Amino acid sequence: MIELRDIKKIYQLGGEEVHALDGVSLVIEDREFVAVVGASGSGKSTLMNIIGCLDTPDEGAYFIDGQDVSDLSEHDQSIMRNRKIGFIFQQFNLLPKLTAYENVELPLIYQGVSSAERKERVTEALKRVGLENRMWHRPNQLSGGQQQRVAVARALVTRPALILADEPTGNLDSHSTGEIMELLKELHRAGNTLVLITHDDEIASEAPRRVRLFDGKVVADMRSDARKADGSSGTDFDGNAVADRNMKAAPAPVMRSGPGGGSPGGGSAGTVSGPGEESFIPEEDPEEVTDGR
């Protein structure tokens, strides 16, 4: 289980304070599959960095499995990343000179796992993503979808508390996107905790729970019925509560007028920058709310 309590992160940009995260609180239970959705500048990258122990919050507390990690040293952060978190990146981020097998093996090497156990676990992880025949291929000998599957294997080989996927399908064609999403859902069904960060609502809709970020704040937290179909252990009460909060917290016109009308020329990192990105919020929100019910 991971828990964020009133997390704040403030950047100084040209003498101006940008509240990348402005009091985010979030609880993600074990075995949950949560999509964090938001436009660029909504703070989702900052949130991912903090959830992934790549960065520390300025304020607030962050617990992984009950352990406060919001104030860790760089050294302890890296241990946390290694033991508790499996990363899946948009750019795959495989080491180009290593084979698929070696890429998956790497986090275990840093953990100091014995070579016999490494062999077993790496093979198992690659089998799980269906790449047992591509173990000795280098990334440039694999398709984008296959590379991302290697990255998924690398993320799950350490048996992390949380798999953190940052726009995992952002660089993939629609076919591979479908493959990776299937794989992620399968991992979820198999009992992994997944946090998927995306700007794409279609991708996000695959997740039973969706958290929407806007201007560094959680503006919606929605659970769909699909969750029950998955056999997860949610209750109606939770779902309703979330939906209620969602309705209160997401008055679409306010969100729209804030960044869009406020500063036309000042498009700093903390504000939504394109009209296309703004527009999807009011369009999609009502659907989601009904979904939530």
Nearest approach in angstroms of CB 94 to another protein is: 8
> Closer CB to another protein, residue 81 or residue 227?
81
| Binding of another protein by 79 (CB under 8 A) | yes
> Closer CB to another protein, residue 39 or residue 50?
50
Q: Which helix (H) or strand (E) holds 248?
A: helix 236-249
User: Which span sits near another protein by CB under 8 A: 29-37, 49-57, 182-190, 268-276?
Assistant: 49-57
Residue 224 · residue 208 · CB < 8 Å: yes
- For 139, which DSSP code? G
d(CA 57, CA 216): 12
Nearest approach in angstroms of CB 2 to another protein is: 17
The residue from 3, 10, 58, 78 that contacts another protein (CB under 8 A) is 78
- For 160, which DSSP code? -
The arrangement of strands across the sheet holding 162-166 comes to: 85-88, 162-166, 194-198, 33-37, 209-214, 217-223
Nearest approach in angstroms of CB 56 to another protein is: 11
Nearest approach in angstroms of CB 88 to another protein is: 11
> Closer CB to another protein, residue 93 or residue 271?
93
Token pair in block for residue 74: 């760089």
What is the x/- site pattern for another protein, positions 87-126, by CB under 8 A?
x-x---xxx-xx-------xx-xxxx--------------
> Closer CB to another protein, residue 13 or residue 95?
95
Nearest approach in angstroms of CB 93 to another protein is: 5
| Binding of another protein by 82 (CB under 8 A) | yes
| Binding of another protein by 12 (CB under 8 A) | no
> Closer CB to another protein, residue 13 or residue 254?
13
> Closer CB to another protein, residue 41 or residue 259?
41
| Binding of another protein by 262 (CB under 8 A) | no
> Closer CB to another protein, residue 28 or residue 50?
50
DSSP string for the chain: -EEEEEEEEEEEETTEEEEEEEEEEEEE-TT-EEEEE--TTSSHHHHHHHHTTSS--SEEEEEETTEE-TT--HHHHHHHHHHHEEEE-TT----TTS-HHHHHHHHHHHHT--HHHHHHHHHHHHHHTT-TTSTT--GGGS-HHHHHHHHHHHHHTT--SEEEEESTTTTS-HHHHHHHHHHHHHHHHTT--EEEEES-HHHHTTSSEEEEEETTEEEEEEE-THHHHHT----HHHHHHHHHHHHHH--HHHHHHHHHHH-SS---TTS---HHHHHHHHHHHHHHHHHH-
User: Which span sits near another protein by CB under 8 A: 57-65, 86-94, 246-254, 281-289?
Assistant: 86-94
Residues 139-168 that bind another protein (CB under 8 A): 154, 158
> Closer CB to another protein, residue 33 or residue 87?
87
| Binding of another protein by 75 (CB under 8 A) | yes
Kindly list the residues in this chain that would bind another protein in the complex (CB under 8 A): 49, 52, 54-55, 74-75, 78-79, 81-83, 87, 89, 93-95, 97-98, 106-107, 109-112, 154, 158
